């Protein structure tokens, strides 16, 4: 959109919405919606409290461990499915089912299997994130030009060299896209897991704030969480842009 | 071998003297499509032989069987008297779509064959640099493939094949993804290169002009099933200016001759 | 904020991908392999249940028995009756609103500028955090569940529709104009049909998100329907019944998605039919 001849960046409209929020909040039009400025102030106070800091450490740790597991398991699984037909035939159906299934229904199972603690959250992150990583990695491996594989073979590449020097690199753009989508799903997993477990990390904070109608803090926590999700997605996108130059150069 | 001598002042085919690649009874079927049936063929050392034919005649399949990339259903391939069934260091392949690694620089792409053989970095890069110069890409060593034109990318593919010092170079329609002007230039360069390098070239193409222009020997394949229909040795003097060849009478006659032979296979 | 529009490719990037891979994996695969795959899954589950890996991990056979038990005593049917109402309503509302909003955003620059960033944020962010809040405002009834479905389903439908309408085939537009098509004709005869594959993919993702939303709402705050059945059997340590209930909702969501794709191909996509 252009305004007085200047291009206004798309995301700038979020500022407009913040102003609308402020006005609506000031006029007390919507129940449970404090003015945006109050939320910002609450966010500022919130990040200084020890309870927020320890909740953040817990949440981040669970998120990082779960994501790392999802990547470490998901990428090799995706490569296996991309390369070995029988593995693809046997696993493909289940990966597809779980990538679009309501995984929130499985979280109660995780809670009885792993207890009401951090392990459940790690498992939730893993379960939410892994399938899209597998699917994208598989797609990336499938899209590798056959002649690139033939090239490696004709110059005498060992199996190891074929995987580490060609396949992993050639599928990298799709793998990164999968990891980015996996991260976004992982953030949802960590939040859903913590909301359901309700005594760990942000889940406990949300519980406290909404039970006591501390709405400014509730919104502040939500905004911090949203900001985190967007920043993570943005960082991965930056990394993707770096490898884009060769993704675009493919035939 | 079924070789038909041709009229019009072209020399009849002599028995091959010193052949480096010997193909015996090679057949290949895909599903219910018979791609190749009973191919017997010798490729003379130090010459450029083209496999020419319409699409579906199995010429690329034959080249990939010689390369060891595809297993034949029947028959054998011998190189320098040694039976081969897998890729080996005495052969190097140049791909139709270049098959360059988009994440690697020109130097690393050219040195990739040596890298896979475990040559150390300084040594292989020195060799790569030499062949990059040889194919006329000096100054582009640190570029990435997407920064090069189609013709330049295929030069990288050619340099990669040269740098492993194989005796036999297998080229699979190397110029088909290169624009017309670059192709002409590239063909001239290939003729020059062939006189400098003491290598055997096996060249797959569907362009009659290209085959006649660069080849010492042309193997015509007919489709469904893929079989040898004719072997031609164009009697063209390539010692002088490559530009001149396009106006050479023998060149023009041979092109016409082959076209008359191939016409029946075109729908 | 320097977040570019491409953040929205969560919706777009995965839509064609999962759509395509689902078709290729499910329609090309011979039925035998699929059965082997199911048998393998059941076998691994059975063995894991027999070891057992955990006191709370029933065998596959126990779970199947429990499943038929739940059908027989009618508890599954009554639970689904209560779960499906807000789900269907929420998805239907999201579909109409989402396709409408997405189309407007794709056609009208100011609308795009105002609305698309909001949906990008909602799509990338864990909006599940809002569900407790919704219950505080609307109580634990049908409204809260429907809204929970909508906040999860709407963003992906809007963004897919918007992307599809925005990136409509340029030469088709020029063609329509050269044959003197009006604006309305351009939209209904060119833009929407051309955008429909991506819109359908978005609708499927929306349905899948809707299932997540309704289950989450029932688990978190509204003790009714499937969510209640899961919680109830967990509290009584009837793990086989609990697993059977969870399995049924996953199966139902999968079958719904497969059915939607089948309908899409049969009814709307002549070019894919018989392929």
Q: Pick from A126-135, A183-192, A224-233 the range whose average pLDDT is largest.
A: A126-135
C50 vs C59: CA distance, rounded Å = 6
| Model pLDDT for residues B17-27, shown as the tens digit of each residue | 688 899 999 99
Among B69, B91, B144, select the one facing A245 at the smallest CB separation. Answer: B144
Judge whether residue B8 has pLDDT over 50: no
What is the Cα B192 distance to its own chain's centre? 15
Among A156, A169, A245, select the one facing B101 at the smallest CB separation. Answer: A169
Residue that wins the pLDDT comparison between C7 and B266: B266
| Model pLDDT for residues B154-180, shown as the tens digit of each residue | 999 999 999 988 889 999 998 888 888
Q: How confident is the model at residue C21 (pLDDT cuts 50, 70, 90)?
A: very low
> Which contacts (CB < 8 Å, 24+ apart) does range B256-264 have?
B257/B6, B257/B8, B257/B10, B257/B232, B258/B52, B258/B208, B258/B211, B258/B212, B258/B218, B258/B220, B258/B232, B259/B208, B261/B220, B261/B229, B261/B230, B262/B53, B262/B54, B262/B208, B262/B220
Q: What's residue C160's pLDDT?
A: 93
Q: What percent of chain A has pLDDT over 90?
A: 28
Cβ contact, residue pair C208, A101, below 8 Å? yes
By the CB < 8 Å criterion, does B106 face chain A?
A: no
By the CB < 8 Å criterion, does C25 face chain A?
A: yes
Q: What's residue B204's pLDDT?
A: 93
Contact, C159 vs C7, CB < 8 A?
Answer: no
Give A55's Cβ-side CA count (13 Å radius): 25
| Model pLDDT for residues A75-91, shown as the tens digit of each residue | 999 999 999 988 888 89
Q: What's residue C3's pLDDT?
A: 32
Is the pair A, C in contact (3+ CB pairs within 8 Å)? Answer: yes
Cβ contact, residue pair A151, B88, below 8 Å? no
Rounded mean pLDDT, B95-107: 89
Can you count the helices (H) and strands (E) in chain C? 12, 0
For the four alpha carbons of B206, B209, B213 and B216, in that order, the dihedral sign comes to positive
**Residue whose pair of structure tokens reads 């864990």 in the numeric block:** C126
Q: Which two tokens stand for residue C216?
A: 């989450």
Rounded mean pLDDT, A111-136: 91
Q: What's residue C1's pLDDT?
A: 30
Cβ contact, residue pair A151, B95, below 8 Å? yes
Cβ contact, residue pair B64, A157, below 8 Å? no
Q: How confident is the model at residue A198 (pLDDT cuts 50, 70, 90)?
A: confident
Judge whether residue A139 has pLDDT over 90: yes
Judge whether residue C40 has pLDDT over 60: yes
CB contacts of A155 in chain B (<8 Å) are 87, 92-93, 112-113, 116, 160, 164
Query: How close C176 gets to chain A, by Cα (Å)?
Result: 26
* ipTM of predicted assembly, 2 dp: 0.85
| Model pLDDT for residues C69-79, shown as the tens digit of each residue | 888 888 889 89
Nearest one of B144, B138, B135 to B174, comparing CA atoms? B135
Q: What's residue A2's pLDDT?
A: 61
Judge whether residue A28 has pLDDT over 80: no
Q: What predicted TM-score, i.e. pTM, was given to this entire model? A: 0.83
Q: What's residue B2's pLDDT?
A: 37
Query: How close A155 gets to chain C, by Cα (Å)?
Result: 32
Q: What's residue B225's pLDDT?
A: 83
Lowest mean pLDDT among A124-128, A241-245, C14-18: C14-18
| Model pLDDT for residues B41-61, shown as the tens digit of each residue | 999 988 899 999 887 788 889
Q: Which 152-211 residues of chain A touch chain B by CB within 8 A?
A: 152-158, 161, 165-166, 169-170, 172
Contact, B85 vs B68, CB < 8 A?
Answer: yes
Which of B92, B115, B116 to mutate to probe the A interface, most A CBs <10 Å? B116
Q: What's residue B66's pLDDT?
A: 92
Q: What's residue A232's pLDDT?
A: 84
Contact, A28 vs A38, CB < 8 A?
Answer: no
Among A148, A157, A169, select the one facing B99 at the smallest CB separation. Answer: A148
Strands of the B227-232 sheet, one edge to the other: B91-94, B168-172, B200-205, B48-52, B217-222, B227-232
Cβ contact, residue pair B64, A148, below 8 Å? no
Q: How confident is the model at residue C135 (pLDDT cuts 50, 70, 90)?
A: confident
Rounded mean pLDDT, A196-224: 84
Q: What percent of chain B has pLDDT over 70?
A: 92
| Model pLDDT for residues C211-260, shown as the tens digit of each residue | 998 998 888 877 788 888 888 888 888 888 899 999 999 999 999 999 99
CB contacts of A187 in chain C (<8 Å) are 125-126
| Model pLDDT for residues B219-252, shown as the tens digit of each residue | 988 888 888 888 888 877 777 777 777 788 888 8
Judge whether residue B256 has pLDDT over 90: no
Count A/C contacts: CB-CB distance under 8 Å.
Answer: 190
Cβ contact, residue pair A155, B103, below 8 Å? no
A60 vs A121: CA distance, rounded Å = 11
Q: What's residue A245's pLDDT?
A: 60
Rounded mean pLDDT, B137-147: 88
Strands of the B33-44 sheet, one edge to the other: B33-44, B19-30, B74-79, B82-83
- Per-chain mean pLDDT for chain A: 86
Q: How confident is the model at residue C14 (pLDDT cuts 50, 70, 90)?
A: very low
Q: How confident is the model at residue C164 (pLDDT cuts 50, 70, 90)?
A: very high
Q: How confident is the model at residue C158 (pLDDT cuts 50, 70, 90)?
A: very high
Q: What percent of chain A has pLDDT over 70?
A: 93
Q: How confident is the model at residue B267 (pLDDT cuts 50, 70, 90)?
A: low
């Amino acid at each position: 959109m252009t305004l007085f001849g200047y291009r206004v960046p798309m995301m700038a409209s979020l500022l407009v919405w913040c102003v609308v929020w402020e006005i609506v909040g000031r006029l007390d039009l919507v129940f449970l919606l404090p003015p945006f400025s109050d939320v910002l102030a609450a966010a500022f106070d919130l990040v200084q409290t020890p309870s927020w800091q320890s909740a953040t450490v817990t949440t981040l740790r669970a998120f990082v461990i779960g994501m790392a597991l999802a990547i470490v398991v998901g990428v090799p699984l995706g490569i296996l499915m991309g390369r070995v037909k029988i593995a693809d035939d046997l696993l493909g159906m289940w990966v597809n089912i779980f990538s679009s299934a309501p995984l929130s229904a499985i979280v109660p199972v995780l809670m009885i299997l792993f207890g009401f603690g951090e392990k459940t959250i790690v498992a939730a992150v893993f379960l939410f994130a892994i399938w899209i990583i597998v699917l994208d990695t598989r797609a990336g491996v499938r899209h590798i030009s056959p002649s690139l594989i033939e090239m490696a073979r004709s110059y005498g590449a060992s199996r190891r060299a074929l995987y580490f020097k060609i396949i992993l690199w050639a599928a990298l753009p799709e793998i990164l896209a999968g990891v980015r989508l996996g991260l976004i799903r992982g953030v949802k997993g960590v939040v859903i897991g913590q909301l359901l477990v309700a005594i760990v990390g942000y889940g406990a904070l949300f519980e406290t704030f909404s039970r006591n109608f501390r709405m400014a803090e509730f919104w502040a926590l939500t905004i911090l969480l949203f900001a985190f999700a967007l920043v993570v997605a943005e960082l991965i996108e930056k990394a993707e842009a770096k490898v884009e130059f060769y993704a675009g150069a493919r035939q | 071998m079924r070789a038909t001598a041709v009229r019009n002042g072209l020399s009849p085919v002599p028995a091959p003297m010193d052949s480096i690649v010997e193909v015996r009874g090679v057949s290949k079927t895909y599903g219910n499509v018979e791609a190749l049936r009973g191919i017997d063929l010798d490729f003379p050392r130090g010459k450029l032989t083209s496999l020419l034919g319409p699409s579906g005649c199995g010429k690329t399949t034959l080249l990939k069987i010689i390369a060891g990339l595809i297993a034949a259903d029947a028959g054998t391939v011998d190189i320098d008297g040694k039976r081969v069934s897998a890729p080996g260091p005495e052969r190097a392949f140049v791909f139709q779509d270049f098959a360059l690694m988009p994440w690697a620089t020109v130097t690393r792409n050219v040195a990739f064959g040596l890298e896979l053989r475990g040559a150390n970095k300084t040594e292989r890069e020195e060799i790569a640099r030499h062949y990059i110069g040889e194919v006329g890409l000096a100054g582009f060593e640190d570029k990435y493939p997407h920064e090069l034109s189609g013709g330049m990318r295929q030069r990288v593919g050619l340099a990669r094949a040269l740098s492993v010092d194989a005796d036999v170079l297998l080229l699979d329609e190397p110029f088909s993804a290169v624009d017309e002007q670059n192709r002409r230039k590239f063909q001239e360069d290939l003729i020059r290169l062939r006189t400098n390098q003491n290598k055997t070239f096996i060249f797959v193409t569907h362009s009659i002009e290209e085959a006649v222009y660069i080849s010492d020997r042309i193997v015509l394949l007919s489709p469904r099933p893929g079989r040898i229909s004719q072997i031609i040795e164009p009697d063209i003097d390539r010692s002088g200016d490559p530009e001149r060849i396009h106006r050479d009478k023998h060149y023009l006659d041979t092109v016409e001759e082959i076209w008359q032979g191939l016409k029946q296979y075109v729908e | 904020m320097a977040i570019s529009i491409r953040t929205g490719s969560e919706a777009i990037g995965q839509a064609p991908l999962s759509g395509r891979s689902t078709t290729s994996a499910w329609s090309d695969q011979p039925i035998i392999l699929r059965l082997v795959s199911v048998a393998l899954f059941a076998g691994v589950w059975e063995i894991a249940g027999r070891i057992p890996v955990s006191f709370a991990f029933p065998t596959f056979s126990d779970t199947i028995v429990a499943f038929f038990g739940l059908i027989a005593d009618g508890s599954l049917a009554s639970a689904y009756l209560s779960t499906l109402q807000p789900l269907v309503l929420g998805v239907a509302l999201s579909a109409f609103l989402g396709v409408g909003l997405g189309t407007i955003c794709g056609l009208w620059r100011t609308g795009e500028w105002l609305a698309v960033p909001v949906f990008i944020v909602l799509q990338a962010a864990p909006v599940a955090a809002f569900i407790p809040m919704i219950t505080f405002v609307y109580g634990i009834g049908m409204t809260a569940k429907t809204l929970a479905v909508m906040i999860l389903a709407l963003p992906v439908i809007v963004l897919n529709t918007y992307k599809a309408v925005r990136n409509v085939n340029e030469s088709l537009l020029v063609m329509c104009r050269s044959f003197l098509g009006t604006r309305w004709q351009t939209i209904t005869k060119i833009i929407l049909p051309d955008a429909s594959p991506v819109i359908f993919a978005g609708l499927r993702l929306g349905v899948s998100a809707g299932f997540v939303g309704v289950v989450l709402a029932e688990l978190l705050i509204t003790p009714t329907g499937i969510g209640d059945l899961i919680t109830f059997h967990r509290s009584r340590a009837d793990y086989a019944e609990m697993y059977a209930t969870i399995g049924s909702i996953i199966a139902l969501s999968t079958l719904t998605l497969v059915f939607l794709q089948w309908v899409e191909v049969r009814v709307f996509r002549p070019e894919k039919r018989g392929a």
